[in-house]
């Protein structure tokens, strides 16, 4: 899904139609990146997500299960508990993943040839040397990342498990797979629809700033600032990612979790 993530980030950080370097459509963005940066341009910043993916998903699903157990001792209904556990898992995940996101976005924003841009480790060192590890350096945009992951996972897990329990399971393995895939697809899409303003704000804060070293945009400033002109393109890119990614992630979780419970 990384090429779509690069395109999404490019739309999120561009400043408006008056900028001659702005992309005019998804097709224009794909064509321009391919022409000027080559096929590897679509894979800029891929190392941080690869490094972060295992601990990120492990934290997400482990903490989700732990929060669910804790919420069993509260008066919350099971439906609400799924959403609250998802919120807690998302907030925990955000703290782990934010530094990786900062490096990823800064690399994705670079329009130079893939061979000319710095490596992920060099970019991380540059960020640390210039601004440190804090909220102006390797952890800038943490508030918007907390919002993005918290809101997404609250809706994502809450919708998926509530709807899955409401729709009867099928004894046919193929139909059961399609039932879960469809619910996961819808869950990821709805989550993205609600979540996109936080995602735009995160990219604006973590991307190149108008004045080097200055974080001009805050989370609450970014949400109205980024709308409405580029909402359509960003929204399309995010939905394309979420439709597939959202369905696949929960399906893998369901089947792997079930296998582990049966065999371990």
The pLDDT assigned to 113 comes to 77
> What stretch of H or E contains 252?
helix 231-263
pLDDT at 50 over 80: yes
Q: 167 in the Ramachandran plot: left (φ > 0), alpha (ψ -120 to 50) or beta?
A: beta
The pLDDT assigned to 132 comes to 93
The pLDDT assigned to 249 comes to 82
**CA 128/CA 122 separation, integer angstroms:** 10
pLDDT at 25 over 80: yes
Of 40-54, 104-118, 120-134, 215-229, the range with the lowest mean pLDDT is: 215-229
pLDDT at 59 over 60: yes
Nearest Cα to 98, choosing from 154, 150, 44?
150
Residue with tokens 């540059």: 126
Q: What is the pLDDT of residues 170-205, one digit of tens each?
A: 999 999 999 988 998 899 889 988 988 899 999 999
The pLDDT assigned to 211 comes to 58
**CA 69/CA 102 separation, integer angstroms:** 32
**CA 238/CA 226 separation, integer angstroms:** 15
Q: What is the pLDDT of residues 115-160, one digit of tens each?
A: 788 899 999 999 999 999 998 899 999 999 999 999 999 999 999 9
pLDDT band at 210 (very low <50, low <70, confident <90, very high): low
Q: Where are the domains of the chain?
A: 2-263
The pLDDT assigned to 218 comes to 52
2-263: which CATH number, 1.10.275.10, 1.50.40.10, 1.10.760.10, 3.10.450.200?
A: 1.50.40.10
Nearest Cα to 94, choosing from 124, 66, 52?
52
pLDDT band at 103 (very low <50, low <70, confident <90, very high): very high
> What stretch of H or E contains 13?
helix 2-13
pLDDT at 248 over 90: no
């Amino acid at each position: 899904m990384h090429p779509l993530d690069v395109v999404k980030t490019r739309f999120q950080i561009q400043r408006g139609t008056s900028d001659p370097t702005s992309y005019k459509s998804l097709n224009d963005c794909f064509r321009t990146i391919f022409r000027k940066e080559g096929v590897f341009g679509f894979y800029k910043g891929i190392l941080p997500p690869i490094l972060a993916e295992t601990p990120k998903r492990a934290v997400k699903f482990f903490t989700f299960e732990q929060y669910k157990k804790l919420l069993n001792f509260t008066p919350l209904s099971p439906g609400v508990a799924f959403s609250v556990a998802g919120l807690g898992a998302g907030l925990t995940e955000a703290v782990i993943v934010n530094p990786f996101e900062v490096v990823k976005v800064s690399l994705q924003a670079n329009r130079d040839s893939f061979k000319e841009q710095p490596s992920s480790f060099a970019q991380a060192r540059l960020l640390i040397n210039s601004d440190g590890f804090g909220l102006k350096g390797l952890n800038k945009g943490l508030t918007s990342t907390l919002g993005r992951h918290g809101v997404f996972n609250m809706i994502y897990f809450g919708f998926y498990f509530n709807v899955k329990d409401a729709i009867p399971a099928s004894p046919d393995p193929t139909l059961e797979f399609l039932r879960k895939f469809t619910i996961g697809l819808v869950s990821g899409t709805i989550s993205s629809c609600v979540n996109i303003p936080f995602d735009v704000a995160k990219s604006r804060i973590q991307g190149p700033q108008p004045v080097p070293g200055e974080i001009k945009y805050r989370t609450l400033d970014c949400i109205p600032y980024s709308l409405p002109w580029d909402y359509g393109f960003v929204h399309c890119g995010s939905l394309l990612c979420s439709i597939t990614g959202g369905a696949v992630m929960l399906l893998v979780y369901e089947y792997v979790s079930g296998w582990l419970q049966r065999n371990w």
